[in-house]
Amino acid sequence: MSAVVESIMGDNAKPAGNAGPVERPQAANEAQAAPTAPVTAAPRAPRKKPLGASAFMRIVPPVLGVAVLVLIWQIIAAKNSSFPTPWATLQEAMSMFSDPFYRNSPNDQGIGWNVLASLQRVGVGFGLAALVGIPLGFAIGRVQFLSAMFSPIISLLKPVSPLAWLPIGLLVFKSANPAAIWSIFICSIWPMIINTAVGVQRVPQDYMNVARVLNLSEWKILTKILFPSVLPYMLTGVRLSIGTAWLVIVAAEMLTGGVGIGFWVWDEWNNLNVPHIIIAIVVIGVVGLILEQALVALAKAFTYEQVSN
């Protein structure tokens, strides 16, 4: 039995001596010699939305949102006689903006002068915060010792309310205007410090290794490597800071008085002029939106990354 098995196996393993090599089909040889690469589907081009649908999504949802807000406003006004209706507020706004820059006395000025006064304080406080915060952020991100030293200070002071800083400013500067600028400065500096430092710390280590190989000076490392890499982070911090600064000035002016949109709102409340308060709220929101969009445009102009609203 075993001999038969060995004979069969031997016959299968060894071809006949006179027989030529067994020819296989050419297609089979080619299939074994050159395995085919896996076929991948070509990526589909993204479908472009029709022009009408794109315009619909840009226009209709915002208009619908405003309409819902006005409807809720009208319902509240119908149930509360002391609350002005949207139409009455619109009439007051048209009368107010017909002469926004009147000036009867130092404390009786149009809403235009009040907005400009607030923007001036925001510009000074925000500018000082940028002059201090951005270089400090670079230093904290570049030097590990400074990062360890300032980290607990930033964590402690960043959550403090803006109004808590105002009495310190009044005590130190003895005047309302510098105290308001101080509040803007101390509250808007933190986003710039933190975002700039994080950007410096996230610069790829390969860039720094190349700088060491080329024996670049610290100034060239800063201007040629760090600044271009950190710019998106820095501009994000600037955007956050300008929003914080605009919020702070409205609250600070309510307490300090004088000329400014915050004081104007508080003065209208003392006069029980609710339509003017609502108009001021809308103006504050519009000015904040303009500042935000201006910085978004600046970020898009100086970065290659997509900047979202």
CATH number, position 217:
1.10.3720.10
Determine the average pLDDT of the residues in 287-292. Answer: 91
Q: How confident is the model at residue 184 (pLDDT cuts 50, 70, 90)?
A: very high
- Does 76 reside within a domain? no
The pLDDT assigned to 238 comes to: 92
Range of 11-15, 79-83, 103-107, 182-186 with top mean pLDDT: 182-186
* 89's tokens: 């507020």
- Does 117 reside within a domain? yes
- Does 234 reside within a domain? yes
Q: C-alpha 278: how far from its chain's center?
A: 27
Longest dimension (CA), the chain: 126
Is residue 189 a contact partner of residue 129, using CB atoms and an 8 Å limit?
Answer: yes
Which segment of 5-9, 99-103, 108-112, 120-124 scores lowest on mean pLDDT?
Answer: 5-9
Q: For 13-39, how does the pLDDT look when each residue is reduced to its tens digit (9 = 90+)?
A: 444 444 444 444 444 444 444 455 555
- Does 187 reside within a domain? yes
Is residue 80 a contact partner of residue 230, using CB atoms and an 8 Å limit?
Answer: no
Q: Which of 247, 243, 240 has its CA nearest to residue 261?
A: 247
The pLDDT assigned to 50 comes to: 62
Query: What is the distance between the alpha carbons of residues 307 and 309, in angstroms, rounded to a whole number?
Result: 7
The pLDDT assigned to 9 comes to: 43
Structural domain for 164, as ranges: 112-302
Determine the number of helices (DSSP H) and then strands (DSSP E) in the chain.
Answer: 13, 2
Taking the model in full, what pTM does it have?
0.74
The pLDDT assigned to 7 comes to: 43
- Does 8 reside within a domain? no
Q: Decide if pLDDT at 40 tops 60.
A: no
- Does 296 reside within a domain? yes
Query: What is the distance between the alpha carbons of residues 133 and 245, in angstroms, rounded to a whole number?
Result: 14
Determine the average pLDDT of the residues in 64-80. Answer: 91
- Does 42 reside within a domain? no
Average pLDDT taken over every residue of the chain = 82
Q: How confident is the model at residue 46 (pLDDT cuts 50, 70, 90)?
A: low
Query: What is the distance between the alpha carbons of residues 15 and 166, in angstroms, rounded to a whole number?
Result: 102
190 Cβ contact partners less than 8 Å away, ≥ 6 residues apart? 133, 154, 157, 158, 241
- Does 1 reside within a domain? no
Q: For 123-160, how does the pLDDT look when each residue is reduced to its tens digit (9 = 90+)?
A: 999 999 999 999 999 999 989 999 999 999 999 999 99
Determine the average pLDDT of the residues in 166-176. Answer: 91
Total of domains in the chain: 1
DSSP state of 104: E
